[in-house]
């Protein structure tokens, strides 16, 4: 029987994804106004139902002795994909295997080697299983984030936003598509700032227009359907983005 997550469960998952090592049951309990015992019981239920499947450490292998992390994008017969994934995961050096539903590149294998020769050994071991390595590349960095829809309201993207990145110092970068009836549509950034349409805490740092990316300046005119990247410093991101979305009262 499926386990249905409520708001408390979702907040637990969010906080553990954010920082499982340094987040305690009492801290989560205080945020959602329940007892620490309730949080511990819920975590046990989430683990029992396979929703929380483990707590993995994030490791920089380059700093751990100069090791190399490589991503292999492979093709495996669909009928054998699951069994081949288990066999690949047993190869020394493989740390993650991801099965995809697509027909090609349906198996992504992440592996760590001491040097390039060690990575070639892993390549040969994958190929011997009858798996075709279509492409591979060294991984430079990997960034993970908690699922924002499970987080507190203030951490969720503002209305109209297509992407949202939280930064240090109470700042964020938000991508928003300019709506045809938005207050800023058809105005230059200088006009929008001077008339108070553009919030003082919002700075337009890039504009995607079709296949072009523009570097904005005061005389840049913002057009409908532009994808605008906005740096928001402090305050309410939703209020800062009101210039780029249509006023519902006028709709």
- Are residue 44 and residue 72 in the same domain, yes or no? no
Look at residue 62 and tell me if it is in a domain.
Answer: no
Look at residue 147 and tell me if it is in a domain.
Answer: no
Rounded CA-CA distance 98/27 in Å is 33
- Are residue 37 and residue 72 in the same domain, yes or no? no
- Are residue 163 and residue 242 in the same domain, yes or no? yes
Rounded CA-CA distance 222/20 in Å is 42
- Are residue 133 and residue 162 in the same domain, yes or no? no
pLDDT at 248: 56
Domain of residue 98 covers 68-138
Look at residue 152 and tell me if it is in a domain.
Answer: no
- Are residue 34 and residue 92 in the same domain, yes or no? no
- Are residue 245 and residue 178 in the same domain, yes or no? yes
Last residue of a domain, one of 138, 170, 194: 138
User: pLDDT per residue over 152-190, tens digit each?
Assistant: 865 555 555 555 565 655 677 787 888 889 999 999 999
Look at residue 84 and tell me if it is in a domain.
Answer: yes
- Are residue 108 and residue 193 in the same domain, yes or no? no
Look at residue 143 and tell me if it is in a domain.
Answer: no
Please tell me the pTM assigned to this model: 0.58
- Are residue 132 and residue 167 in the same domain, yes or no? no
Sheet holding 202-209, edge to edge: 161-167, 171-177, 227-233, 202-209, 212-214
- The β-bridge relationship of strands 171-177 and 107-113 is unpaired
Look at residue 37 and tell me if it is in a domain.
Answer: yes
pLDDT at 98: 94
- Are residue 40 and residue 79 in the same domain, yes or no? no
Residue ranges in the chain whose pLDDT is less than 70: 1, 153-170, 234-237, 248-251
Look at residue 40 and tell me if it is in a domain.
Answer: yes
182 and 223 in contact (C-beta within 8 Å)? no
162 and 176 in contact (C-beta within 8 Å)? yes
Give the CATH number of the domain where residue 38 resides: 1.10.10.10
- Are residue 244 and residue 164 in the same domain, yes or no? yes
pLDDT at 251: 43
User: pLDDT per residue over 189-203, tens digit each?
Assistant: 999 999 999 888 888
Structure-block tokens of residue 4: 């249905």
Last residue of a domain, one of 107, 138, 169: 138
User: What total of structural domains would you count in the chain?
Assistant: 3
pLDDT at 90: 96
Give the CATH number of the domain where residue 87 resides: 3.30.70.920
Q: Which residues lie below 8 Å from residue 133, measured CB to CB, with a gap of 6+?
A: 72, 73, 74, 123, 126, 127
- Are residue 76 and residue 43 in the same domain, yes or no? no
Last residue of a domain, one of 138, 170, 188: 138
- In terms of Cβ atoms closer than 10 Å to its own Cβ (0-12, 13-18, 19+), residue 112 is buried
Q: What are phi and psi of 161, to 5 degrees?
A: -75, 140
- Are residue 124 and residue 84 in the same domain, yes or no? yes
Look at residue 241 and tell me if it is in a domain.
Answer: yes
């Amino acid at each position: 029987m499926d386990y249905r997550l409520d708001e408390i469960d979702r907040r637990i998952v969010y906080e553990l994804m954010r920082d499982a090592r340094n987040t305690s049951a009492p801290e989560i309990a205080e945020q959602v106004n329940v007892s620490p015992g309730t949080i511990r019981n819920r975590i046990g239920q989430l683990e029992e139902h396979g929703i929380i499947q483990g707590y993995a450490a994030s490791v920089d292998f380059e700093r751990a002795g100069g090791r190399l992390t490589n991503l292999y994008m492979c093709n495996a017969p669909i009928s054998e994909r699951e069994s081949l994934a288990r066999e690949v995961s047993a190869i020394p050096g493989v740390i993650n295997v991801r099965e995809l539903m697509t027909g090609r590149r349906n198996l992504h294998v992440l592996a760590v080697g001491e040097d390039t020769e060690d990575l070639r050994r892993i390549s040969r071991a994958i190929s011997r299983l009858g798996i075709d390595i279509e492409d591979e590349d060294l991984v430079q960095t990997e960034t993970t984030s908690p699922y924002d829809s499970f987080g507190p309201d203030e951490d969720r993207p503002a209305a109209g936003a297509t992407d949202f990145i939280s930064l240090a110092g109470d700042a964020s970068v938000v991508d928003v598509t300019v709506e045809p009836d938005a207050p800023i549509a058809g105005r230059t950034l200088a006009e929008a700032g001077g008339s108070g349409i553009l919030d003082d805490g919002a700075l337009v740092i890039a504009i995607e227009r079709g296949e072009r990316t523009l570097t904005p300046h005061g005389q840049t005119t913002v057009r409908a359907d532009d994808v605008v990247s906005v740096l928001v410093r402090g305050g309410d991101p939703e209020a800062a983005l009101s210039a780029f979305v249509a006023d519902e009262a006028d709709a």
